[in-house]
Amino acid sequence: MAALASLGESAPAAEAKGPRSMQAGRRRRLNLFRYLVFTVFGLFFILPLLAMVRFSLEGSTLGTWSVAAWKQIASYPGPPPLLSAVEITLELAIISSGVVLVLLVPTMIWIRLRVRWISRAFEFLCLLPLTIPAIVLVVGLAPIYNKIRHYQLSALQLFWAYVILALPYAYRALSAGLTAIDVETLSEAARSLGASWLTVIVRVIAPNMRQAILNALVLTSALVLGEFTIAYLLLYNNMQVNLYYISRTTPNAGVLFAASSAALIFAFGLLLVLSYAGRRRRRGQG
Amino acid sequence: MAVASTTETGAPPVRAGRRLRVPAWIGTVPFLGYIGVFLLLPTGIVLYKAFQSSSGGFTLSGLTALGSSAVRGYFIGSFKLCVISSVIGAVLGAILAYAVASGNPDGAVRRLYLAASGVLAQFGGVTLAFAFLATVGPTSGLLLHLSWFYDFPQGIALIYVYFQIPLMVLVFMPAIDGLKVQWREACESLGGSAWQYWRHVGGPLLAPAFLGATLLLFANALSAFATIEAWENQIAYTVPQQISTALSSEVGLNNANEASVLAVGMVIMVVVVMTGYVLLQRRASRWLH
């Protein structure tokens, strides 16, 4: 509804205050073009999702409706059982985002305050995973994970690799938050009042970049929820790998589409919530 | 407020008298250690294995294997898929980005499309292949039955475009936002038409950013694996698929390090493409920022 309402932010009002003022005729044609584009692209993006949801709600005979497939998510026996894979994936998302934050936030603040000369190299390292595709990383990770498996078999061990995959995205989010605040003044003020460096980082600067931390958290979680390559090739079983095996081994398309829809809706909701939370904060400050 | 609360520690003014001085960079050691073990070490292992002969010595024979016709086939397959999906994704994404950017900068449409782009650009996993199977699968499609759904590269390119367009929107939007209204006004006040504006002002200004974004999309398609693996399992068309096959059947003597060699080939491709991207971005930022 909100989306439809703002589509109508047409001619006079937008023209008066809008930065892109132009002749009325051209504005009308532009709006026509915009409606057309939004409709076509909207359909392209929505239809596959709707089709998947519709498929998951298919009854035993064609054209009927039923929630049987959705109920089966919880009880799907596998092998391996679907619910345990979902559980593992959610736990991985939590662990990975926690480790990313513990690893990045103090280090980034510390570098900004005390070791400026290292920041270029640090940025390079953080963005490096962008040029090393997951499929390449996994070739090198395989021997390392063979060692890890000697001590611990659980699929939760995947978080070591997921932290690396999430690094560039988390770094960008945190870096944007860090440049937006006056780190030097805050830390000098805290230090002159007798705060230790730990207090400066944890209780003074980190709370000031709450939004950036939230962004990094959600980006990392979204990435973990959709990860397939590394888990699949290291022979671990997460949600995506499980869906893949269901698609290969059973004729039960309903539960496949139901679980896929649920995963998509969950990730979409997560990012949408973040986007709106971010806007509220900015409005409050301005 | 946070500052005030720290005074409760009431630290003595000077206590760093005779303490051992630790260099400040020590604080980055945990991070560097982690990166070293889980990013630099794996990369090193890939390089090491790619240049390792079957007897353990150094060899370039792995790299000459990159020239063999079978391996070349995978690279050509990857190249075809990446070119098709990145060019289509870039053109359509640029159109969508312009439509979004020309609206209200605080509007709900823009927010919705940017948030959705953020999700959809990331969500290229196996679920995407299933979604298209449910929509246009040759027998299961609810919308229509595409007979070429399993044909390479057009069938898989259709699915790739689904995550390439959102990525293009995210990458290209800042460039469009950087177009100054004054340039358009100057063009209009001199009697220029919309076509002339795009031909002589807007187009040339956006061209480097557009080409750079296309290269980024190319790299994105190159490293995608989950979608194509879930789409069609029988034949390996692309490099990532063949790496997967080689990795899970690393027993043959003649292809002991095939996965590593292919991986090095991929990294070279990505580095070349990303270098082009960075250079074009620098060129683009001369006018737009």
Burial B145-167 (b: 16+ CB within 10 A, else e): ebeebeebbebbbbbbbbbbbbb
Residue A12, phi then psi, degrees to nearest 5: -60, -50
Q: What is the pLDDT along chain A (286 residues), one digit of tens a residue?
A: 333 333 333 334 444 444 455 567 778 888 899 989 999 999 999 999 898 888 888 877 777 788 877 887 777 776 667 888 888 998 999 999 999 999 999 999 999 988 889 999 999 999 998 888 999 999 999 989 988 888 877 889 999 999 999 999 999 999 999 988 999 999 999 999 999 988 998 899 999 998 889 888 888 888 898 899 999 999 998 888 988 888 887 666 788 888 888 887 877 777 767 666 665 554 444 3
Model confidence pLDDT, tens digit, residues A173-222:
999 999 889 999 999 999 999 999 889 988 999 999 988 898 888 888 88
CA dihedral B205, B207, B208, B214 (to 10 degrees): 150
Model confidence pLDDT, tens digit, residues A139-157:
999 989 988 888 877 889 9
CA angle B262, B264, B270 (to 5 degrees): 105
Among B7, B22, B49, B130, which would you mutate to test the A interface (most chain A Cβ atoms within 10 Å of its Cβ)?
Answer: B130
Tally Cβ neighbours within 10 Å of residue A33.
Answer: 14
A58 interfacial to chain B (CB closer than 8 Å): no
Four-residue CA torsion sign, A174, A179, A181, A186: positive
d(CA A14, CA A92): 46
Inter-residue contact B168 to B90 (CB < 8 Å): yes
Q: Looking at the partner chain, which of B9, B38, B46 has a beta carbon nearest the beta carbon of A196? A: B9
d(CA A233, CA A22): 55
Model confidence pLDDT, tens digit, residues A265-278:
877 777 767 666 66
Residues 77-136 of A with CB under 8 A from B: 103-104, 106-107, 110-111, 114-115, 118, 122, 125, 128-136
Give the 3-state DSSP-derived string for chain A, with helices as H, strands as E and coil as C. CHHHHHHCCCHHHHHHHCCCCCCHHHHHHHHHHHHHHHHHHHHHHHHHHHHHHHHHCECCCCCCECCHHHHHHHHCCCCCCHHHHHHHHHHHHHHHHHHHHHHHHHHHHHHHHCCHHHHHHHHHHHHHHHCCCHHHHHHHHHHHHHHHHHHCCCHHHHHHHHHHHHHHHHHHHHHHHHHCCCHHHHHHHHHHCCCCHHHHHHHHHHHHCHHHHHHHHHHHHHHHHCCCHHHHHCCCCCHHHHHHHHHHHCCCHHHHHHHHHHHHHHHHHHHHHHHHHHHHHHHHHC
Residues 160-179 of A with CB under 8 A from B: 160-161, 163-164, 167
A19 contacts in B (CB within 8 Å)? 105, 181
Nearest Cα of chain A lies from the Cα of B38 at a distance, in angstroms, of 7
> What is the rounded average pLDDT of the residues B12-30?
70
The first and second tokens of residue A194, run together, are: 């007798």
Closest residue of B to A218, CA-based?
B119
What does the domain layout of chain A look like in residue ranges? 14-72, 77-285
Closest residue of A to B118, CA-based?
A271
Give pTM, 2 decimals.
0.82
B91 interfacial to chain A (CB closer than 8 Å): no
Cβ neighbours for B27, distance < 8 A, ≥ 6 positions apart: A106, A107, A110, A111, A114, A115
Cβ neighbours for B219, distance < 8 A, ≥ 6 positions apart: A131, B270, B273, B274, B277
CA end-to-end distance (rounded Å), chain A: 26
Among B14, B25, B31, which would you mutate to test the A interface (most chain A Cβ atoms within 10 Å of its Cβ)?
Answer: B31
Inter-residue contact A237 to A80 (CB < 8 Å): yes
CA dihedral A172, A167, A178, A200 (to 10 degrees): 180
d(CA B105, CA B114): 11
CB contact under 8 A, B126 and A243: yes
**A77-285 in CATH: which number?**
1.10.3720.10
Secondary structure of residue B190 in the 3-state scheme: coil
Inter-residue contact B206 to B213 (CB < 8 Å): no
Q: Looking at the partner chain, which of A19, A34, A47 has a beta carbon nearest the beta carbon of B135? A: A47
The DSSP result for B35-77, as a single string, is HIIIIIHHHHHHHHHHTB-TTSSB-SHHHHHTTSHHHHHHHHH
Closest residue of B to A259, CA-based?
B127
CB contact under 8 A, A263 and B223: no
Model confidence pLDDT, tens digit, residues B172-185:
998 888 888 888 88
ipTM above 0.85 for this complex: no
Inter-residue contact A52 to B134 (CB < 8 Å): yes
